[in-house]
Structure 1
Amino acid sequence: MKILIVEDEHKTGDYLKQGLSEAGFVVDLVRDGLDGLHQALTNEYDIVVLDIMLPKLDGWQVLKGIRQGYKQMPVLFLTAHDQIEDRVKGLELGADDYLIKPFAFSELLARIRTLLRRGKYHDPEHLQIADLELDLLRRRVTRSGKRIDLTAKEFTLLELLLRRQGEALPRSLIASQVWDMNFDSDTNVIEVAMRRLRAKIDDDFEPKLIRTIRGMGYVLEIPEK
């Protein structure tokens, strides 16, 4: 799942990005309202976490622009504005939730997951292909009923493959979605991570589910007999 954070306070923004990344999300962070609106309108996000007091455009203007652009992803205001009228204004403009700073990260995470489970943005609790199962809530992976221990990055990589099973995923997409970086052909970080993931979910099992597409990337699928 991909999250956009629009937060100009550097310490808070970095804290949010690190925490949500460790929770398994792919996170984009921008520092002003103009960049936030541009990102929201030109990319696909599952949720936006938005401050109100921002440079260039404030959070109210960003939210208006998102809704006027017919983008319906959930928007959660995370702000120091704690007046009732501010909360009412945010909800009337189309925000889906409103959390006051200072905040507990556990509450923010719970609210994000609640929003993602609603309506068209319902986030499934389980992903599966063949006998490989991924439990998103408990962050557990099993194959043929056997528990498989993955690192946080391996879990995120497998989640991406499962969500887009059957699709040939370029290395550039994997790099941006899992490592939040531009693909550098001189690095073998993706190959190393994929090799380790294969060793855990494929080596001792049949059928083999991860396939390399030479010169392009990888696909997760049940092989044709």
Structure 2
Amino acid sequence: MKRTTFAALAPLALLVAACSSTPEPNEQDSAALCAAGQAPPGVFCAPPPAATVTVTSTATTTTPAATGATATSIPPLAAAAATPVMQGLALQEAPGMSPEGGPFAGQFQEGQTLEQDITISPGKCYTIVAVGLGIQELDMQLLTQPVPQVPPVMLAQDATTGPQATIGGKASGCWKNPTPLGAPGKVVLKATKGAGIAAAQVYVK
């Protein structure tokens, strides 16, 4: 009776021994099996971490350069280096004429202009001289002041090249107001090429 009981229990004992001899996978083995896509039954594999994408911006910020159209007006004393040259030019181009008001000057970047208001008197004759330092091409115009619905009219302009400009010089004679009426006008200096300072003076007789 007892032998029969042990014989019946023998297969069950072998099965228990076989199950107990199967090693439990440790964490490292489980991780390796998960990574290989071969997870054993009963082992939960965490989803792989999302890929981290690093975006490097290649955009550049462009700071616009300061390109104002109007030169910076400066006191004539600040352009004192140009005064002797301007006076020498006036002796050649405006002999016997008197200064009309004081000189005016500006600090220029290439392409910038500077305006100076003047009064064009009837019957008067005008010569305007200008000198630039550091400016390779200085241009000058004499214009009327704009009025409502009437744009400014160019009355005269220099025909010279280089850092000096003259309107109504010795070669052509001073510029004379062709009307018997006075009118507001303006002198416009332009640094067509180069940058630096420029000074100008109006002469009249």
TM category (shorter chain) comes to under 0.3
Greater helix fraction, Structure 1 or Structure 2: 1
**Structure label with greater radius of gyration:** 2
Compute the TM-score of the two structures, normalised by the length of structure 1. Answer: 0.25
Compute the TM-score of the two structures, normalised by the length of structure 2. Answer: 0.26
